[in-house]
Amino acid sequence: MALILLPLVLSLVAWLLPSAQTRLFGLIASALSLAWSIVAVCYFKPTDHLLVDFGLRFIRFSIDSLGFTMILLTNAVFFLVFLSQFTSNITQEKRFTALALLMQFGLVGVFTTNTILGFYIFWELTLLPIFLILYWFGSFEKPRALLQFFLYTILGSLAMLLAVIGLMHATNQQTYEGLLVADLNALGNTSTLLMGGFLFAFAVKIPLFPFHTWQAETYTKAPTAGTMLLSAIMLKMALFGLLKWVLPIFDGVATDFWRWPIISLGLIGVVYGAIIAIRQRDIKTLFAYASLSHLGLIAAALMLNDFDTNQIAVVQIVNHSIVSIGLFLAAGIIELRLQTRNIEELGGIAKVAPRFAFWFAVLTFVSLSVPFTAGFIGEFFLIKALFSAHALTGFIASTTLVLGAVYMLRAYQAPMFGPTKIAAFADLHWSELIVFAILSVAAIYLGLAPQCLTDFVAQSLTQPTH
Amino acid sequence: MDSIVILFISGLLGLFAGMSKKPVASLFIASFGLIGAGLAAYYRGSYNSPFSSYAAFVPTQGIVIILLCAVTLLALLGGFKRYKNDDEHTGDYFGLILFSLCGAILMAQPGDLMLFFIGLEILSIPIYVLVGIDKGSSTYAEAAVKYFFTGSFASAILLFGIALLYGATGSFQLIEIQSNLAIGIWQSPMAMIGSLFILAGFIFKIGAVPFHFWGPDVYAGASNAVLMYMSTVVKIAGIYGLINVFGQVFRDSYFFWIDLISLLIVISMFYGYITAWKQTNFRRLIAFSSIANAGLMLFALADIHNSNIFLFVGAYALATIALVVINLAVNDDSDALANWEGIAWKNPMIGIALVIALFSLAGIPPFAGFFGKFSLLWSATPHVPYTAILALIASVIGAFVYLRLLILALKRPKVQVRMQLSIEQMIVLLLTSIASIGAIYFI
């Protein structure tokens, strides 16, 4: 119970504290949540379900091992965001700290709720804080880009709301377990439509290819902390929803109908995102499109709904969080110190800031899926699964390795080792250094021993019946 | 009945207390009357959760009265700053509002069409007066005259419908009319035209398309304080009356009017939200938003046996009152939307209440507006699925109207000016915010 409510309480405390203590409070609060979840996970048996009930009719919680993984990931991401932004102005702001903690509460709710309506409610709850964070701290000169992001999100959410109402009416069930045993195949085309509603909401959040147009501009204009929160954890809600809710519940007619459309869109995203990323000059936009490319691969592989692939997808979800925090932090550091994100104006940073160059390189290699990093495990097995589905899908998916190398090395090589174009560059602050070190260690540990994660989540992933 | 008596007596006392030119005294008497009426209703009827009462025929009596009294109390408190400026007439304002509320209660729970019509007139006539009570201003006079003429016209149509229905069935009692219609009379042209005329009268009262034209002009012409009362209580009473009359009397001709209602829902929502998008005047924006919300309220008719309107109208009233109170506090003179720029920074209470109210109106969880919309759609979707889909698409436009207002209000000003709210405004904003969040415990 405390696991779920702690961020909410801390968020309320953050409003009441004097502004001078906000910076430290944010860090301590997020560290407290993380420590609490680590302690809780030590006492947690992977086969268990932790039931939490606040007496609400439509919202109940049940934490299984997948949920615990996501809670840990959420709390770790928030801790790293607060730590990495320790020197920036944004953590001084009371509003940012309180809203970020509120968002953390929403995310933990999404990952632990046991009812389909609860899933929707928490899904939407995260919208309020991120809207305010983007609006207050981003550099949106005109609200148009922000409104576009919200147009897409709200449209997707309302499609999901209709699907939730339809699903609850059709099955007369509202809990996860109840929906699992409900026979949706008997509904025929209705179940396909209902799944379409969910998939639309998820496609906007992941994002999949034709629904991604909000992403690049929102990422670019958002503050570094906002971008990290969005890409590292908020968009994972959609993949989590796909993995935990939609695929097991709609297993059968509906999944068979949507499998190839979604895989195609995911793979188009993989290639399209990578090609656009190659042409980008703005380093943050480049990483945004790289994110589109990587997430398209995960979504495509998830649609295969294969037990082993689903476990690996969790590894890749965690890996993508690590990579996106690291890369957007690096972009943020460059922007903060040089007031530019244009690759062509950067060069020779490695000479003046060797520590930054080293850790940025590590994260770049993780993103490139070099063996012994989590990225390798993730991408290798996902591409292998797509190959076993069809040779062509596997081939298209594997282009991500080559194209990824092109844009990542370009983003790294020119600013770091190109001809010197910058005057001065302060090397990493200790807080940033710790963040990079934690990320790198986590990525390499997961790359060497992925079974610690896959075995843990395997307990709560349901075996597909077909 | 107890509630109506209490309200009437406290309204009378309020009129006399107004002579002492002490606005606070009038406020206390009115508040005690409202609380007493609410308590009387509470001990007469019990409240069922909208989800647990699947077999409920009509909403429980008591809860409607409590809702109406609570909303009126908030409206009185919120508008007190305005009422007390005019200390010669404070008692008149409160008396008129309480008398009008008696009519609202009669109208919301009719058992008899004659009594219902009387309730409607008791509700309406004080509001015509309230709109134009500031005799010096020409805009108020214009709004009052416009409201009076269109309102009388709608009353006449409604009365004509009642007469036709009486001709078809030979009774004013809702139960008798229902049993007469059920044996097949509902197919007679007289009864059908009568039902449509009665519907037209109701649509006018709640301000949905196609009888919405009075809304923007009257809302823009009325003062903020009166707007708080008439944009909420009139709609709540109207929609409850509509549900009771249609749910009881016309349930046999359900398939005759439900397509018409669906059409009205869709047109009202699209029209209201699209037109609200380009407004530059706050009260006109509220008027168009209320047209769209009236369309949403009509969803309650889709499932006449299980109309879960309570949460929705409650959430709508809370959010509207919060917004109008904020408008009254910061922008009472000009009403231009441009003055809303950066107002969230003037006072933290305004900022919080504003964010909650706008998100609640936009229907985003975990605020009351979402649960209201959800409970409406929950019962309506199996009956009118395509209307529900179109309504959700319209809600996206609506969300944008409110987000645009939010963005305007949250814009960081160059120079921060702090402002103080009066104590009763603080109370109203606090109560509406808490209630909007606390609605999660009512589902």
Which tokens belong to B392?
Answer: 């959700």
pLDDT for position B80: 87
Assess if residue A466 is contained within a domain: no
- Nearest alpha-carbon partner for B166 in B194, B140, B147: B194
If pLDDT is split at 50, 70 and 90, which confidence band does B307 have? low
* Distance in Å, alpha carbon of A295 to nearest chain B alpha carbon: 27
If pLDDT is split at 50, 70 and 90, which confidence band does B443 have? low
> Given B49, B395, B441, which is nearest A158 (Cβ)?
B395
Asked if B366 and A121 come within 8 Å (Cβ–Cβ), the reply is yes
Neighbours of A210 (CB within 10 A): 11
Assess if residue A463 is contained within a domain: no
Q: Is the model's pLDDT at B284 over the cut of 70?
A: yes
User: Across chain B, what does the average pLDDT equal?
Assistant: 85
Cα nearest neighbour of A133 on chain B: B410
- Give the distance, in angstroms, between the CA of residue B232 and the centroid of all CA atoms in the same chain: 3
Cα nearest neighbour of B359 on chain A: A128
* A positions 106-165 inside 8 Å of B (CB): 117, 120-121, 124-125, 127-128, 131-132, 135-136, 143, 146-147, 150-151, 154-155, 158-159, 161-162, 165
Neighbours of A208 (CB within 10 A): 25
> Given B365, B382, B400, which is nearest A169 (Cβ)?
B382
Q: Please identify which residue in the block is written with the tokens 């416009």.
A: B146
SS3 A272: helix
Distance, CA of A295 to CA of A184 (rounded, Å): 28
Asked if A151 and B382 come within 8 Å (Cβ–Cβ), the reply is no
Q: Which residues pair with A62 in a beta bridge?
A: A51
Determine which helix (DSSP H) or strand (DSSP E) holds A280, and give its type and residue range. Answer: none
* Distance in Å, alpha carbon of B199 to nearest chain A alpha carbon: 29
B379, B395, B396, B405: which to substitute to probe chain A, counting the most A Cβ within 10 Å? B396
- Asked if the C-beta of B412 comes within 8 angstroms of chain A's C-beta atoms, the answer is yes
If pLDDT is split at 50, 70 and 90, which confidence band does B378 have? confident
Asked if A165 and B412 come within 8 Å (Cβ–Cβ), the reply is no
Asked if B366 and A56 come within 8 Å (Cβ–Cβ), the reply is no
SS3 A1: coil
Q: Helix crossing, B90-108 with B23-44: angle to 10°?
A: 20
A15, A57, A134, A190: which to substitute to probe chain B, counting the most B Cβ within 10 Å? A57
- Asked if the C-beta of B184 comes within 8 angstroms of chain A's C-beta atoms, the answer is no
Asked if A161 and B377 come within 8 Å (Cβ–Cβ), the reply is yes
In contact, B42 and B61? CB cutoff 8 Å: no
pLDDT for position B56: 34
pLDDT in tens, B73-90: 999 999 888 888 877 788
- Asked if the C-beta of B377 comes within 8 angstroms of chain A's C-beta atoms, the answer is yes
Cα nearest neighbour of B392 on chain A: A158
Contact list, A165 vs chain B (CB under 8 Å): 374, 377-378, 381, 388
Backbone angles phi, psi at B434, to 5 degrees: -60, -45
- Give the distance, in angstroms, between the CA of residue B365 and the centroid of all CA atoms in the same chain: 22
**Stretch B43-70: mean pLDDT:** 58
* Distance in Å, alpha carbon of A137 to nearest chain B alpha carbon: 11
Distance, CA of A197 to CA of A210 (rounded, Å): 16
Contact list, B410 vs chain A (CB under 8 Å): 132, 135-136
- Residue by residue, pLDDT tens for chain A (466 residues) are 678 888 888 888 888 888 788 888 888 999 999 999 888 888 887 777 777 777 777 788 888 888 888 999 999 999 999 988 888 888 788 888 999 999 999 999 999 888 898 899 999 999 889 888 888 888 777 777 788 888 888 889 889 998 998 888 888 888 888 888 887 878 888 889 899 999 999 999 888 888 888 888 888 888 888 999 988 898 899 999 998 899 888 888 888 899 999 999 999 999 999 999 988 888 889 999 999 999 999 999 998 888 888 888 999 999 999 999 999 999 888 888 888 888 888 888 888 888 888 998 999 888 888 888 888 888 888 999 999 888 898 999 888 888 988 888 888 888 888 887 777 778 888 888 899 999 999 999 988 988 888 888 887 776 554 4
Asked if B365 and A151 come within 8 Å (Cβ–Cβ), the reply is no
How would DSSP label each residue in B254-269?
HHHHHHHHHHHHHHHH
A19, A60, A121: which to substitute to probe chain B, counting the most B Cβ within 10 Å? A121
Distance, CA of B356 to CA of B286 (rounded, Å): 16
* Distance in Å, alpha carbon of B204 to nearest chain A alpha carbon: 29
* Distance in Å, alpha carbon of A365 to nearest chain B alpha carbon: 40
Contact list, A58 vs chain B (CB under 8 Å): 443
Asked if A169 and B381 come within 8 Å (Cβ–Cβ), the reply is yes
Asked if B443 and A57 come within 8 Å (Cβ–Cβ), the reply is yes
Cβ–Cβ pairs < 8 A, chains A and B: 71
Contact list, B441 vs chain A (CB under 8 Å): 56
Identify the residue with better confidence: B134 or B130. B130
Asked if A121 and B365 come within 8 Å (Cβ–Cβ), the reply is yes
| Residue B36 C-beta-side C-alpha neighbours within 13 Å | 18
Cβ neighbors of B26 (< 8 A, separation 6 or more) are: B14, B17, B18, B90, B91, B94
Segment among A315-324, B36-45, B154-163, B249-258 with least mean pLDDT: B36-45
> Given A57, A59, A162, which is nearest B388 (Cβ)?
A162
Distance, CA of B130 to CA of B91 (rounded, Å): 12
Interface ipTM: 0.86
pLDDT for position A466: 45
Asked if B365 and A169 come within 8 Å (Cβ–Cβ), the reply is no
How many domains does chain A fold into?
A: 1
Q: Which domain holds residue A316?
A: 2-458
Asked if B400 and A120 come within 8 Å (Cβ–Cβ), the reply is no
Asked if B400 and A147 come within 8 Å (Cβ–Cβ), the reply is yes
pLDDT for position B322: 93
If pLDDT is split at 50, 70 and 90, which confidence band does B61 have? low
Q: Is the model's pLDDT at B406 over the cut of 80?
A: yes
Which tokens belong to A196?
Answer: 């379409």
pLDDT for position A179: 86
Q: Is the model's pLDDT at B273 over the cut of 90?
A: yes
> Given A56, A135, A151, which is nearest B396 (Cβ)?
A151
Cα nearest neighbour of A16 on chain B: B348
Q: Please tell me the total number of residues recorded for chain B in this structure.
A: 443
pTM of the model: 0.90
Distance, CA of B100 to CA of B106 (rounded, Å): 10
- Nearest alpha-carbon partner for A460 in A110, A105, A45, A52: A45
Neighbours of B99 (CB within 10 A): 21
- Asked if the C-beta of B438 comes within 8 angstroms of chain A's C-beta atoms, the answer is no
- Asked if the C-beta of A8 comes within 8 angstroms of chain B's C-beta atoms, the answer is no
pLDDT for position A463: 58
Q: Is the model's pLDDT at B54 over the cut of 50?
A: no
Torsion sign across C-alpha atoms A11, A12, A13, A15: positive
pLDDT for position B286: 92
Q: Is the model's pLDDT at B35 over the cut of 70?
A: yes
If pLDDT is split at 50, 70 and 90, which confidence band does B45 have? low
Which tokens belong to B305?
Answer: 């046996």
Give exposure, B329-367, as e/b (b: 16+ Cβ within 10 Å): bbbeeebebebbebbbbbbebbbebbbbbbbbbbbbbbb
Asked if A136 and B410 come within 8 Å (Cβ–Cβ), the reply is yes
Cα nearest neighbour of A15 on chain B: B348
Assess if residue A375 is contained within a domain: yes
In contact, A250 and A302? CB cutoff 8 Å: no
